[in-house]
């Protein structure tokens, strides 16, 4: 019997004063059986930090050629490509050629990620921000949401 995704519900009050974004979000995120809680949490962070009209989660680790989070305009054209974790250079290259904005949100040690990407062909590499979250911080939150609410 194949394992199915676990659904997580996030009720989030988003307030980004710099961008003038104030939203109450009720997000349902499917965590695939092969996806870590940390990876799912980074998808959530990327979604919130990039939130704008047209943003959507993809299928996460099961998304194939799509990023973890994507923004499409009203015509369906990809305008934002957001990778999570430790994406390879080829994915970043493809995303950067396709979308106007590309970013990486990682919970992996930044020096390891930068080492993997160094010297690789990535379109507009200097324009791709990498947002690194402290791994112990992400792990602690991931453990808390994986265990469910505490009494």
Average pLDDT for 121-144: 95
Please give the pLDDT value at position 60.
Answer: 63
Name the band, by pLDDT with cuts 50, 70 and 90, for residue 67: very high
**Measured distance CA(96)–CA(103) in Å, rounded:** 9
Q: Mean pLDDT throughout 63-72? A: 89
Residue 151: the pLDDT is 41
Q: Which letter does DSSP use for residue 102 in this model?
A: E
Contact yes or no for 132/111 (Cβ under 8 A): no
pLDDT, tens digit (0-9, with 9 covering 90-100), for 76-130: 999 999 999 999 999 999 999 999 999 999 999 999 999 999 999 999 999 999 9
33: pLDDT strictly greater than 90:
no
User: What is the pLDDT averaged over residues 6-27?
Assistant: 94
Band of pLDDT at residue 34, cut at 50, 70 and 90: confident
Determine contact, residues 82/123, Cβ cutoff 8 Å.
no
Domain 6-146 CATH assignment equals 3.10.640.10: yes
pLDDT-based confidence at residue 132 (cuts at 50, 70, 90): very high
pLDDT in the model for residue 21: 93
Residue 3, pLDDT score = 78
DSSP 127: G
- What's the pLDDT score for residue 58? 87
Cα–Cα distance measured from residue 86 to residue 102, given in angstroms and rounded to the nearest whole number: 14
Residue 150, pLDDT score:
46
Query: Tell me, what's the pLDDT at 1?
Result: 56
| Exposure of 94 in the CB half-sphere (CA atoms within 13 A) | 10
């Amino acid at each position: 019997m194949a394992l199915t995704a676990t659904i997580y519900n996030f009720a989030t009050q988003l307030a980004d004063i710099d961008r003038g974004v104030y939203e109450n979000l009720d997000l349902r995120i499917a965590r695939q059986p092969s996806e870590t809680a940390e990876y799912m949490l980074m998808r959530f962070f990327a979604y919130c930090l990039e939130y704008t009209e047209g943003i959507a989660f993809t299928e996460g680790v099961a998304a194939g050629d799509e990023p973890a989070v994507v923004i499409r305009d009203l015509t369906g054209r990809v305008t934002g490509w957001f990778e999570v974790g430790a994406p390879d250079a080829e994915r970043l290259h493809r995303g950067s050629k396709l979308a106007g904005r590309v970013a990486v949100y990682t919970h992996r040690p930044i020096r390891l990620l930068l080492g993997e990407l160094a010297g690789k062909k990535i379109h507009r590499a200097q324009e791709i921000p990498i947002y690194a979250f402290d791994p112990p911080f992400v792990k602690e939150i991931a453990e808390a949401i994986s265990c469910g609410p505490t009494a």
